[in-house]
Amino acid sequence: MRTQVCIIGAGPSGLLLSQLLHRKGIESVVLERKTKEYVLGRIRAGVLEHGFAELMREAGVGERMDREGFLHDGTVIAYDNHQFRVDFAARANASVLVYGQTELTRDLYEAREAADGKIVYNVEDVRIQDADGDAPYVEYNVGGQGQRIDCDYVVGCDGFHGVSRKTIPETVRKEYEKIYPFGWLGILSETPPVHEELIYANSERGFALCSMRNENLSRYYLQCPLDHNPEDWSDDAFWEELKRRIPEQAAEKLITGPSIEKSIAPLRSFVTEPMRWGKLFLCGDAAHIVPPTGAKGLNTAASDIYYLYHAMVQFYVDGEEEGLDRYSEKALARIWKAERFSWWMSNLLHLYPEQGEFDRKMQRAELEFLESNESAQRVMAENYVGLPF
């Protein structure tokens, strides 16, 4: 098989790149180690920066997103049973869109299928060959049968545990990592959200987040020790603890119900450099991970796709390679800013095991400064809604 771009990973970033390239007449094949149903079954975040939403529209898959998504013009920060609002529209002249990643991915699948896009599922033993040469190709197995795709470029959208990043020799890549000493216990419940916007809560008992997927589907999180298991927490215990960590006025309005999904996610900051090696490009979790505080995970993947898509169009349409040559540089410049913001939000809102009284006082001072200072709110709002590409 021959194609122009071989994309490894049929999550939202791989599908989005494939769809954008298709609309410019650039061929691609997407390889996925799981099934479509498995990919759509993964529960992920759904806060889209305004730039990501524009990219979805450019890909021709924004109609349902615009119809069913929820525009958020701000967010609530809470501490010590007190809360204040950061107004994104006033401070940054932009908003975010709440639209579940599952629904976004479903829209992309439908678009690729409608265009007869080539997606190969249940691939095993993927091997990226000659990525540092002039004629890269990808070998893989499906149902025990060996297959090969020859291509111009390979794009790794296959996540942290995928093969793409590990293809780059250890002598070439450098990895930066911070492991946080806690996790997020999250539940999904078929209940109305407690508030029309997200609530980020700093509490002496630990961090809490109230978020939403739609009018009757809510997502809530609690900071918890890394050695906890979801089975350690009954639904009643979760709801009671959440009420203790959020302001009373929110706790009184909270509608509880059975959880339909419960999990614990560890928090990590991770970046690998470079994001290009020869004809191989890394995107999304294959190259970087941010803590979920600040809602940057999916959005950082979208920024990678933005840079790579435009670079490939520049190459295939205009014959210019500058965009491809500068892809890693441009992508990493924005990634490190997103890492900084997620690190700052995490430090602002979580209770750290090693925190002393001085550290807690400084955290409180930072929260009070953010509440009272318009410039600080503007910096937060500009980062939350998304820095320019």
Is position 296 annotated as part of the catalytic site? yes
Contact status, residue 250 vs residue 199, Cβ threshold 8 Å: yes
Contact status, residue 221 vs residue 43, Cβ threshold 8 Å: no
Tokens of 105: 């991915």
Is position 243 annotated as part of the catalytic site? no
Is position 221 annotated as part of the catalytic site? no
Q: Which of 50, 72, 330, 350 is catalytic?
A: 72
Beta strands in the chain (DSSP E): 5-8, 28-31, 47-48, 70-72, 74-79, 82-87, 96-98, 118-120, 123-129, 137-142, 145-150, 153-156, 174-189, 199-202, 208-214, 217-224, 259-273, 276-277, 280-282, 288-289
**β-sheet bridge partners, residue 137:** 129, 150
Q: Which of 109, 220, 309, 384 is catalytic?
A: 384
Is position 72 annotated as part of the catalytic site? yes
Q: Which of 99, 140, 180, 200 is catalytic?
A: 200
Q: Which of 296, 307, 327, 350 is catalytic?
A: 296
Kind of pairing, strands 288-289 and 259-273? antiparallel
- Supply the DSSP symbol for 290: -
Q: Which of 292, 306, 307, 350 is catalytic?
A: 292
Query: DSSP characters for 144-173?
Result: TEEEEEE-SEEEE-S-TTSHHHHHS-TTT-
Q: Helix, strand, or coil here: 296?
A: coil
Question: Which amino acids are annotated catalytic?
Answer: 72, 200, 292, 296, 384
